Protein backbone atom coordinates (compact mmCIF):
# COMPACT_ATOMS: atom_id res chain seq x y z
CA UNK A 1 0.00 0.00 0.00
CA UNK A 2 2.83 2.41 0.84
CA UNK A 3 4.44 1.72 -2.52
CA UNK A 4 1.23 2.64 -4.36
CA UNK A 5 0.92 5.88 -2.39
CA UNK A 6 4.58 6.67 -3.11
CA UNK A 7 4.09 6.19 -6.87
CA UNK A 8 0.89 8.26 -6.87
CA UNK A 9 2.66 11.12 -5.08
CA UNK A 10 5.65 10.82 -7.41
CA UNK A 11 3.45 10.90 -10.53
CA UNK A 12 1.50 13.87 -9.16
CA UNK A 13 4.75 15.72 -8.42
CA UNK A 14 6.20 15.05 -11.87
CA UNK A 15 2.94 15.95 -13.63
CA UNK A 16 2.51 19.25 -11.76
CA UNK A 17 6.17 20.17 -12.17
CA UNK A 18 6.06 19.59 -15.92
CA UNK A 19 2.75 21.43 -16.24
CA UNK A 20 3.99 24.56 -14.45
CA UNK A 21 7.00 25.09 -16.69
CA UNK A 22 5.93 23.39 -19.91
CA UNK A 23 5.26 24.52 -23.45
CA UNK A 24 3.42 23.03 -26.40
CA UNK A 25 5.60 23.36 -29.49
CA UNK A 26 4.22 24.13 -32.97
CA UNK A 27 6.40 24.73 -35.99
CA UNK A 28 6.95 24.50 -39.72
CA UNK A 29 10.12 24.35 -41.72
CA UNK A 30 12.09 22.96 -44.62
CA UNK A 31 14.59 20.10 -44.75
CA UNK A 32 17.60 20.06 -47.06
CA UNK A 33 18.81 16.53 -47.76
CA UNK A 34 18.60 13.90 -50.48
CA UNK A 35 14.84 14.49 -50.34
CA UNK A 36 14.20 18.22 -49.92
CA UNK A 37 10.86 18.56 -48.20
CA UNK A 38 8.56 20.69 -46.06
CA UNK A 39 7.99 19.67 -42.47
CA UNK A 40 5.54 20.25 -39.61
CA UNK A 41 6.34 19.96 -35.90
CA UNK A 42 4.31 19.38 -32.78
CA UNK A 43 5.83 18.70 -29.40
CA UNK A 44 6.08 19.20 -25.67
CA UNK A 45 8.98 21.00 -23.99
CA UNK A 46 9.92 21.87 -20.44
CA UNK A 47 13.20 22.69 -18.72
CA UNK A 48 14.06 19.03 -18.19
CA UNK A 49 12.02 17.10 -20.78
CA UNK A 50 11.71 17.51 -24.55
CA UNK A 51 9.58 15.46 -26.97
CA UNK A 52 9.05 16.69 -30.53
CA UNK A 53 7.47 14.94 -33.52
CA UNK A 54 8.45 16.17 -36.98
CA UNK A 55 6.38 15.16 -40.00
CA UNK A 56 8.16 15.51 -43.33
CA UNK A 57 5.30 15.71 -45.85
CA UNK A 58 4.63 12.25 -47.35
CA UNK A 59 8.13 10.89 -46.61
CA UNK A 60 9.12 10.58 -42.95
CA UNK A 61 8.16 10.80 -39.28
CA UNK A 62 10.93 11.84 -36.91
CA UNK A 63 10.48 11.82 -33.12
CA UNK A 64 13.18 13.04 -30.75
CA UNK A 65 13.03 13.15 -26.98
CA UNK A 66 15.34 13.62 -24.04
CA UNK A 67 15.65 14.14 -20.30
CA UNK A 68 18.09 16.83 -19.26
CA UNK A 69 19.56 17.60 -15.85
CA UNK A 70 21.00 20.98 -14.90
CA UNK A 71 24.65 20.97 -13.87
CA UNK A 72 26.46 23.37 -11.54
CA UNK A 73 28.04 25.04 -14.57
CA UNK A 74 24.59 26.14 -15.88
CA UNK A 75 24.20 23.76 -18.78
CA UNK A 76 21.93 20.75 -19.19
CA UNK A 77 23.10 17.20 -19.91
CA UNK A 78 21.22 13.95 -20.37
CA UNK A 79 20.19 11.06 -22.59
CA UNK A 80 18.47 11.65 -25.91
CA UNK A 81 16.66 9.32 -28.33
CA UNK A 82 15.72 9.88 -31.96
CA UNK A 83 13.30 7.69 -33.94
CA UNK A 84 13.21 8.03 -37.74
CA UNK A 85 10.50 6.24 -39.74
CA UNK A 86 10.69 6.47 -43.54
CA UNK A 87 7.47 5.70 -45.40
CA UNK A 88 9.15 4.51 -48.62
CA UNK A 89 11.19 1.71 -47.04
CA UNK A 90 8.99 1.04 -43.98
CA UNK A 91 12.04 0.76 -41.77
CA UNK A 92 12.54 2.48 -38.47
CA UNK A 93 15.92 3.73 -37.26
CA UNK A 94 16.31 4.32 -33.52
CA UNK A 95 19.35 6.25 -32.33
CA UNK A 96 20.32 7.19 -28.79
CA UNK A 97 23.16 8.81 -26.91
CA UNK A 98 24.30 11.65 -24.68
CA UNK A 99 23.48 15.29 -25.41
CA UNK A 100 24.03 18.60 -23.70
CA UNK A 101 22.32 21.97 -23.98
CA UNK A 102 23.86 25.37 -23.38
CA UNK A 103 21.79 28.57 -23.23
CA UNK A 104 22.93 32.17 -23.41
CA UNK A 105 20.40 35.03 -23.54
CA UNK A 106 18.19 34.34 -26.59
CA UNK A 107 20.40 31.58 -28.03
CA UNK A 108 20.27 27.87 -27.21
CA UNK A 109 22.62 25.20 -28.59
CA UNK A 110 22.21 21.44 -28.25
CA UNK A 111 24.91 18.95 -29.27
CA UNK A 112 24.77 15.18 -29.07
CA UNK A 113 26.34 12.00 -30.39
CA UNK A 114 23.62 9.52 -31.27
CA UNK A 115 24.34 5.92 -32.24
CA UNK A 116 22.13 3.32 -33.95
CA UNK A 117 20.23 1.27 -31.36
CA UNK A 118 20.50 -1.98 -33.33
CA UNK A 119 24.33 -1.84 -33.42
CA UNK A 120 25.05 -0.81 -29.84
CA UNK A 121 26.86 2.43 -29.10
CA UNK A 122 29.27 2.65 -32.04
CA UNK A 123 30.37 5.91 -33.59
CA UNK A 124 31.39 4.61 -37.01
CA UNK A 125 30.42 7.62 -39.11
CA UNK A 126 30.77 10.91 -37.22
CA UNK A 127 28.67 12.94 -39.70
CA UNK A 128 25.79 10.45 -39.31
CA UNK A 129 26.05 10.37 -35.50
CA UNK A 130 26.39 14.11 -34.81
CA UNK A 131 23.23 15.91 -33.68
CA UNK A 132 23.39 19.71 -33.49
CA UNK A 133 20.61 22.19 -32.95
CA UNK A 134 20.85 25.96 -32.66
CA UNK A 135 17.73 27.83 -31.61
CA UNK A 136 17.30 31.60 -31.49
CA UNK A 137 14.36 32.98 -29.49
CA UNK A 138 13.02 36.16 -31.05
CA UNK A 139 12.95 38.94 -28.40
CA UNK A 140 9.64 40.34 -27.20
CA UNK A 141 8.52 43.62 -28.78
CA UNK A 142 9.64 46.70 -26.78
CA UNK A 143 7.39 47.34 -23.80
CA UNK A 144 5.59 43.99 -24.05
CA UNK A 145 6.01 40.82 -22.04
CA UNK A 146 4.84 37.85 -24.11
CA UNK A 147 4.05 34.44 -22.58
CA UNK A 148 4.74 32.51 -25.76
CA UNK A 149 8.15 32.24 -27.40
CA UNK A 150 8.79 32.57 -31.13
CA UNK A 151 11.97 30.86 -32.31
CA UNK A 152 14.05 30.09 -35.38
CA UNK A 153 15.90 26.78 -35.35
CA UNK A 154 18.69 25.28 -37.43
CA UNK A 155 19.28 21.55 -36.97
CA UNK A 156 21.73 19.03 -38.42
CA UNK A 157 21.35 15.29 -37.97
CA UNK A 158 22.10 12.29 -40.18
CA UNK A 159 23.03 14.44 -43.22
CA UNK A 160 19.79 16.44 -42.95
CA UNK A 161 19.82 20.20 -42.45
CA UNK A 162 16.51 21.58 -41.23
CA UNK A 163 15.42 25.21 -40.87
CA UNK A 164 12.35 25.69 -38.70
CA UNK A 165 10.20 28.51 -37.37
CA UNK A 166 8.24 27.58 -34.29
CA UNK A 167 6.16 28.83 -31.41
CA UNK A 168 6.25 27.61 -27.81
CA UNK A 169 2.84 28.07 -26.16
CA UNK A 170 2.41 27.71 -22.38
Q: Where are the domains of the chain?
A: 23-169
CA distances from 106 to 54, 103, 138, 153 (A): 23, 8, 7, 12
pTM across the whole model: 0.82
Percent of the chain scoring above 90 in pLDDT: 50
Q: How confident is the model at residue 65 (pLDDT cuts 50, 70, 90)?
A: very high
pLDDT at 124: 72
Class of domain 23-169: mainly beta
A 10 A CB-CB count for 156 gives: 15
pLDDT at 54 over 90: yes
pLDDT at 135: 97
| CA 149 to chain CA centroid, nearest Å | 16
Q: How confident is the model at residue 82 (pLDDT cuts 50, 70, 90)?
A: very high
Q: How confident is the model at residue 20 (pLDDT cuts 50, 70, 90)?
A: low
pLDDT at 28 over 90: yes
Contact yes or no for 111/132 (Cβ under 8 A) = yes
pLDDT at 121: 66
Q: How confident is the model at residue 159 (pLDDT cuts 50, 70, 90)?
A: confident
Of 30-39, 54-63, 104-113, 120-129, which gets the smallest average pLDDT?
Answer: 120-129
Amino acid sequence: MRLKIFFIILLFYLFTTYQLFAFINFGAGYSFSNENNWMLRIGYESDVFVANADYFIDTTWNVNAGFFFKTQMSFYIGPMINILNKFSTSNMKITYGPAFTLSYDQLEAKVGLLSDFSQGFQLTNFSENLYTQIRYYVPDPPGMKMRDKLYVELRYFSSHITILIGLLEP
